[in-house]
Structure 1
Amino acid sequence: MEMMVAKTKSWVVLSIFLLAANCMQQCVRGNSRPPCMFIFGDSYSENGNNNNRATTAKGDYSPYGIDYKQGNNPTGRFTNGRTEADFVAEGLGLPNIPPSANTTDSDILKGVNYASAAAGIRPETGSQRGDIISLERQIRNHRDIYNRIVRIRGSSKKAENYLEKCLYYMKIGTNDYYGNYFLPSSPTRRDFTPDQYAADLVRRYSSYLKTLHDKYGARKFLMFKLDKIGCNPFARATYTRDGRGCARQLNDAALLFDRKLESEVEQLNKNELSSKAKFVVVNSETNTGFTDADTPCCQTVQNTTCIPNGIPCSNRDEFRFYDGIHGTENTNRFTARMVHQVLLSFLG
């Protein structure tokens, strides 16, 4: 594990490269355990926000959800069972975090999932897929939830005293490359060099983080690197591969983003926006422990999502990828354990 922790600063930067121990609910104990978790992101974290929207970016059909709870239960999650975000929440002792499209006042005090498949940091990312919820719109949805929590708690101060203890889980940016920069019909590749594009994404991302911090009381941020987005079945089948079998242009672009994100976090650390703010950047990429780490478990549409009602592989726990892009439940369980090891230091 490679980790850099600035204990004297308000912001924290960490990177993970090795396995973590199995430490689910034992990871974070007592007063340090967050009372709620708010999830922002894309199809890696979605749990149903796109189901009733006019978009082709949906995972609400079989064979998705084949292993979820009682089985054969497609909920909008792009995997056979639970997502990484589900496992992280469970490890913190939190109940199932509901999608923002379906919340009650009692639900929102434990957290809300705003993630939307095909969404990105830039507002136009994924627009070719229909009515998806960009990160900008997810932040606006959180504003509405924040106002409801203020009403429940009785005042802004009481709401923010509560929300500053919560975890803000943010996993987004992949679609800004798959569904924007490297999309043949997108103009952004003509307008930006890869370095300029990464800088633009991080600038926008940082502004959203500051909005959550300054306006809505967020203090504990868990963010994810993009890492090797050129090594999944979709990328390998779609783009020119290097000697390792991956799409190097995607990996190189993602590396620019990751480095700029870390640099931005260091600057936020120096700025010390507030004494209780903590910011963590995590790399939970893994390629070990699977019999098959290269091919999708389900039959796919051009190495992307699963074919509706197709029959997936029977040995799903041995596969890294469920479809052409997303991990199996076992992959998500594995990476969540790595995240929990970070949370020991971050929240403990």
Structure 2
Amino acid sequence: MTSLKNDTFLRALLREPTDYTPMWLMRQAGRYLPEYCATRARAGSFLNLCKSPALATEVTLQPLARYDLDAAILFSDILTVPDAMGLGLYFAEGEGPKFERPLREEWEIRALAAPDPHDKLRYVVDAVSEIRRALDGSVPLIGFSGSPFTLSCYMVEGEGSDTYAKVKKLMYARPDLMHHILSVTTQAVIDYLNAQIEAGAQAVMVFDSWGGMLTQAAYLEFSLPYMARIMAGLTREREGRQVPRIVFTKGGSLWLEQIAACGADAVGLDWAVEIGDARRRIGDKVALQGNMDPSILLTTPEAVSAEAKRILASYGPGTGHVFNLGHGISQFTPPDNVAALVETVKSDSRRYHG
């Protein structure tokens, strides 16, 4: 494999010295970019886009052609894993993802099995390899998965939810069945992420998008231990260097100390916590990734720049910060505002390094 021309992102995740604060954006390849919308139209559907390694490579590279970002992230969807488990993923127009066969009966839950990623998820593994070749060592590639708890929410509810009534009912009434789903899904995620690392992913991230809706007791029983199991099961070194691991629980700022102890190299932050406070709490144990409110990007370049400077100042001098949003970029974001953000972080962050 080609050696990396820019490894700033990987070094920051391992809290090694860097010349500036590296950055990438959650959902950086997406509907706010006209070129993405054009490729998505050619694909015919979102799932076709995900399942074509060539098109997934094309959209993964699009934000890097526009912006001086420090990492690419594989273009895929967290729900490819339950789809590979046989639940029948589809996207209803204007309604988001749904499953044809959500987990309802005990026998369905007991029959759940972790898929072979080299078979059922071959298109993702092939996309990772193709993206790595296309990047040609310019920046690292991030692989990712949903967390076992977040995936289980979709698998039980059958779609997104505001109340998560079905999954909470199962969790409290039949914790044995919930733990079975989580155990099988955890093994699936370990196998899936290790296949991505083997194919060329140089860092991996676990998205726990719905963990923040749990009580503390439930989070510490049904979400965090399974992410810790994933951290322990991942390939630690590839191509002669460490493969950093990032965990991100949206709404998880109450539990930062526990999250920082799960075995990850970096903790993703949403916008609800002040990054300087998070650094004081856990920054001597892990790197921090975050945490601009993506809504700022709907305003003006001046407002975006001012907020980026405020976050950099809050984190303060030293390494261990990867600048990112507190969640995914909105489809309504003007691309020029992203340009202002990237330029500000690249120029202003140098004062905090070396």
Which TM-score band applies after superposition, normalised by the shorter structure? 0.3 to 0.5
Bigger helix fraction: 2
Give the structure-1-normalised TM-score: 0.40
Give the structure-2-normalised TM-score: 0.39
